[in-house]
Structure 1
């Protein structure tokens, strides 16, 4: 899952980024409001951590804009202690939750998990299942018929994306935006490499789940009934 942090306190933003990466989230960080809005409007993120006081454009204005554009991405507002009117405004304009600074790591992670559950996503602690495989995104483990393999992070993220889209075709462009970010230098061959890795691991596990190529379109995950 990919999270965008929009926070102008660079030390705090970097600390948050490291905390989330340790939980196997993919994280992008921006330090001003206008860039934060541009990134948020790309619609590649599963959740936004959005500070209220930002240079260029404040967090409430960003929130109003992304909701006006029809984006339902979960948003957790980061507020200074005592900013009750701002918290109320954020919730009124479509924020899913807020966390008052200073906050504990445990509280923040719990609120992130809760926001993702409300969206209907599977949070990292849960296992994702399709056909005869189970993916544990928290521990990067793929299990099938009692056999288990360790995945690297990008493999886990790719398989999670394909599972979450069920029988929908996922293009290489969608995979690049989701796993590497919309401004990444990643190319189609990067996607093909990780698809190949996953196929080999599914074959090794003797799984009935297959990653099928839809020529000229993308990939779809299919499990034998």
Structure 2
């Protein structure tokens, strides 16, 4: 296991790093928050152990910046600041566990091993794709075969729900709930009307049909079969 330890207390850093080495793990040590943050983004680690009180950049800021930079490495805060509010603040900053000094190394090792066993966090998709149709959730842009498709906000949401359910039947009730936030049937043709408008934009100008009506059930968006 590769561990990144960001700890400015020399005695603690030596004690912890030697303990990890004896347990068969590789441990890189940095005493400055900014240096530790840079290292967290430039190399792959299984776990980060971070002190809260650091020179250069405090531990909370290190973890917040790492998370903002899409660093998904599990983080354990190792610190003398142990109040309930402090622990909550650490977890909300992006930490996964919190151990208060003084501590037993056996407990630290057990917690680090537990974090390393966690399955990796899957990143939320920001671009959905079905055949040659793409939906960019960040730029709020739809394209098919490289051609930009102008969508109204409700049409965009409708298409997103259909694309997330690729290949499956999305019922009228599901669309009412997820697109219009209706938890009842308003007895209108709002779904049918918007689906018709969406189909005219994403299907009719192109050779292959992607959006299919499933009679008396709902709709399905999938690649040509």
TM-score, length-scaled by structure 1: 0.51
Q: Specify which structure has the bigger relative contact order, considering alpha-carbon pairs within 8 angstroms and separated by 6 or more residues.
A: 1
Report what 1:174 is aligned to: none
Over the aligned positions, Cα root-mean-square deviation in angstroms equals: 1.6
Q: What CA deviation, in whole Å up to 9, does each residue of 1:127-149 have, x standing for no partner? A: xxxxxxxxxxxxxxxxxxxxxxx
CA drift at 1:84: 3.0
Q: Name segments (4+ residues, structure 1) moved above 4 Å.
A: none
Contact 1:43–1:73 under 8 Å retained in 2: no
* Structure 1 CA distance for aligned equivalents of residues 102 and 26 of structure 2: 23
- Aligned positions of 1:102-113 closer than 5 A: 102-113=102-113
Report what 1:32 is aligned to: 32
* Structure 2 CA distance for aligned equivalents of residues 58 and 103 of structure 1: 21
Is 1:73 matched with 2:73?
yes
| Residues 60-69 or 86-95, more deviating | 86-95
Contact 1:43–1:71 under 8 Å retained in 2: no
* Structure 2 CA distance for aligned equivalents of residues 56 and 99 of structure 1: 22
Is 1:64 matched with 2:78?
no
Report what 2:41 is aligned to: 41
Report what 1:152 is aligned to: none
Report what 2:98 is aligned to: 98
* Structure 2 CA distance for aligned equivalents of residues 76 and 82 of structure 1: 13
* Structure 1 CA distance for aligned equivalents of residues 2 and 51 of structure 2: 17
Larger CA Rg, structure 1 vs 2: 2
CA drift at 1:81: 4.9
Gap runs ≥5 in structure 2: 121-225
TM-score, length-scaled by structure 2: 0.51
* Structure 2 CA distance for aligned equivalents of residues 67 and 82 of structure 1: 22
* Structure 2 CA distance for aligned equivalents of residues 64 and 49 of structure 1: 14
Gap runs ≥5 in structure 1: 121-225
Alignment length, in residue pairs? 121
